[in-house]
Amino acid sequence: MSGTVIIAGGGPAGLMLAGELALRGVGAVVLERRERPADASAGMAVHGRTVDVLRQRGLTDRLTADEMFPWPLTPFALLWLDMSTATDQEHTYALPQWRLERLLAGWAGELGADLRRGHEVVGLVQDDAGVSVRVAGPAGTYQVRGDYLVGCDGTDSTVRTLAGIDFPAGSEPYYGVLGDMTLVEGTDTSFDAGVHPNGMFGAIPLGPQVLRLMTIEFDVARPPDSEPVTVDELRTRITRITGREPRLGPVGFLHRYGGATRLAASYRAGRVLLAGDAAHSFFVSGTQGTNTGIQDAVNLGWKLAATVSGWAPPGLLDTYDGERRPVGARMCWHANASMALLHPYPRVAALRELITELIRFPAVNNHLLQATTATRYPMPGPARADDPLLGAPVPALATASGVDQVAAALREGHGVLLDLSAGAADLVGLERWSERVRVVTAPPTPEIAAAAVLVRPDGHVAHVDPTGGDRAGRLAALATWFGDRDGA
């Protein structure tokens, strides 16, 4: 292992980042305040771009069809979008967060990451060479030293506070409770789910015998986290929203949530970085927080590993904030747009009816689907900025056997040069990056309208060569993202 990165938080973003670092030979110490892995969670799903990332690390092979499967619908402002014409990348897939965390913890652990449960950051001091972190653990307080510290410790992030990074509210607060109710014989399921003047109430099947009950209110103060969530609290909230007291069956998992839309003023302060909910907080809809956090981690992981290992080109780590914070800002905008269609209900009811009519048009429906999944980063360099491939996630390139060649090549955490030129591309000089970039040769395909494509380790396209003759552009892109190699 070369160098060490300390990660505060063992949720999806922190565990994904730990795996990304360990995959590239960088030590990762994960400090997770929870003492045991969760066996239930509020998050229930991921979207197609996250599934792409998991596939590019070989992790979907570890999930059965019963553990991850497409949902036929996905919400926007609690209005259901039609998924029947969606691409694989636009789909929402059922995958509970607790199961995702266990998948990522197992993967990161196999690669050598050090996951410490019952440990949390309580102090930090950074200097030009690294970060000293004070940790409270089961045996007392101790200090650990790392090259960088990444806060993946949630919306109430201790790391963000200690680093002095502002986290301003961008919306009014909301408050909600959820509970998973087991359906037994005689259970009353005649709930008045929907949007009401006092708030929102949902009843979502999680399986043949489990119904998730969820509330959202905007004009009620959230109880302090020190107060445990109870079935009485859930019942009271449902009664206030719907005007009718429900007869609840046995309720297992309970969770209280809420807050405001927030975006960190910066994703970096010296050797301290933020990812996941520590960097952004969204209105609860479509599990966007989990998905955005996973994408943060994959974008940051290879750049941070290159920096710690000493081969990163100038400014590489700065592109994390430059690429991911605009995505966080767009997700905050999307969340606020969703909230604007929910509250205050008497003023937005007519607008909701109009939006309901509009989403029946495929173009509107598809635009709303892509608003949270179509991430494209601006890429430096001349011309072709309008090429739809440049900066976008690389399309799948399946063989006759169904294996995605690009995803398979990305499993090792390297970049990929995809040669579709049938021998026409000038690849002279590429061998100098052989430790960082793998070449995949395949026949031309209509899915990728180019002769050669350079793909970063996070799966995003960094250079597109339509004919195979743009050697200068290809070498410039390689130097930009994988370091200058003298003599190339």
**Which DSSP helix (H) or strand (E) runs through 76?**
strand 73-76
Last residue of a domain, one of 242, 259, 276: 259
Please report which helix (H) or strand (E) contains residue 294, including its range. Answer: helix 288-309
Q: CA 277 from chain center: how many Å?
A: 9
Same domain, 230 and 103: no
Contact 303, 297 (CB under 8 A): no
Match 């399946």 to its residue by tokens. 398
pTM as predicted:
0.95
CB 488 within 8 A of CB 321: no
Find all residues with CB under 8 Å of 115, minimum gap 6, and list them: 10, 15, 18, 30, 32, 105, 108, 109
Instruction: Verify that 154 and 33 share a domain, yes or no.
Output: yes
Q: Which CATH number do you get for residue 473?
A: 3.40.30.120
H helices of 164-317, in order, are: 231-242, 288-309
* 381: in domain: no
Examine the domain organization and report whether 365 and 316 are in the same domain. yes
Query: Which of the listed residues 337, 371, 405 is the one where a domain comes to its end?
Result: 371
In a domain, 386, yes or no: no
**Domain annotation covers residue 379:** no
Q: Which two tokens stand for residue 110?
A: 């196999």
In a domain, 95, yes or no: yes
- Strand-pairing partners, residue 145, are 132
Last residue of a domain, one of 231, 259, 287: 259
Cβ neighbourhood burial of 164 (10 Å; 0-12, 13-18, 19+): exposed
In a domain, 382, yes or no: no
CATH of the domain at 37: 3.50.50.60
Does 234 lie in the same domain as 202? Answer: yes
348 and 441 in one domain? Answer: no
Q: Which domain holds residue 271?
A: 4-169+262-371
Domain co-membership, 162 together with 250: no
Distance CA 240, CA 116 (A): 42
**Residue 28 CB neighbours (<10 A):** 30
User: SS3 of 373, please?
Assistant: coil
pLDDT at res. 488: 45
- Residues 136 and 230 reside in one and the same domain: no
pLDDT of residue 1: 64
> Are residue 134 and residue 43 in the same domain, yes or no?
yes
Q: Are residues 127 and 153 in the same domain?
A: yes
Residues 281 and 318 in one domain: yes
Q: Which pair of structure tokens corresponds to residue 193? A: 């789910």
Whether 329 and 263 have beta carbons less than 8 Å apart is answered as: yes
Q: What are phi and psi of 52, to 5 degrees?
A: -55, -45
- DSSP H/E element including 408: helix 405-410
Which has the closest alpha carbon to 461: 426, 415, 422? 415
Which residue carries 């050697």 as its tokens?
A: 471
Report how far residue 407's alpha carbon sits from residue 394's, in angstroms, rounded to the nearest whole number.
Answer: 9
Q: pLDDT by residue for the chain (488 residues), tens digit each?
A: 679 999 999 999 999 999 999 999 999 999 999 999 999 999 988 988 999 999 999 999 999 888 888 877 788 888 888 888 777 777 788 899 999 999 999 999 999 999 999 999 999 999 999 999 999 999 999 999 999 999 999 999 999 999 999 999 988 899 999 999 999 887 878 888 889 999 999 998 888 899 999 999 998 999 998 999 999 999 999 999 999 999 999 999 999 999 899 999 999 999 999 999 999 998 876 678 899 999 999 999 999 999 999 999 999 999 999 999 999 999 999 999 999 999 888 899 999 999 999 999 999 998 988 888 888 999 987 656 678 999 999 998 876 666 788 899 999 999 999 999 988 888 888 899 999 999 999 988 888 989 999 999 999 999 999 999 899 999 999 999 999 876 44
**C-alpha 372: how far from chain center:** 11
In this structure, what CATH number is given to the domain that contains residue 252? 3.30.70.2450
Q: Which residue, 173, 151, 159, is CA-closest to 282?
A: 173
Domain count of the chain?
A: 3
Q: What share of the chain is helix, strand, coil (3-state, %, to 5)?
A: 30, 25, 45
Structure tokens at 22: 């360990």
Three-state SS annotation for 306-352? HHHHCCCCCCCCHHHHHHHHHHHHHHHHHHHHHHHCCCCHHHHHHHH
Structural domain includes residue 376: no
Which amino acid is present at 166?
A: D
Claim to verify: residue 228 and residue 310 sit in the same structural domain: no
Q: Are residues 47 and 135 in the same domain?
A: yes
Helix, strand or coil, per DSSP, at residue 19:
helix
Query: H or E element: which one contains 368?
Result: helix 362-370
Contact status, residue 12 vs residue 101, Cβ threshold 8 Å: yes
Strands 415-419 and 452-455, how do they pair? antiparallel
The answer to whether position 380 is within a domain reads no
Say how far apart CA 410 and CA 458 lie, in whole Å: 8
Question: What integer pLDDT is reported at residue 187 of this predicted model?
Answer: 81
Let me know if residue 230 belongs to a domain: yes
Distance CA 335, CA 328 (A): 10
Instruction: Give residues with Cβ within 8 angstroms of 58, minimum separation 6.
Output: 411
Contact status, residue 82 vs residue 356, Cβ threshold 8 Å: no
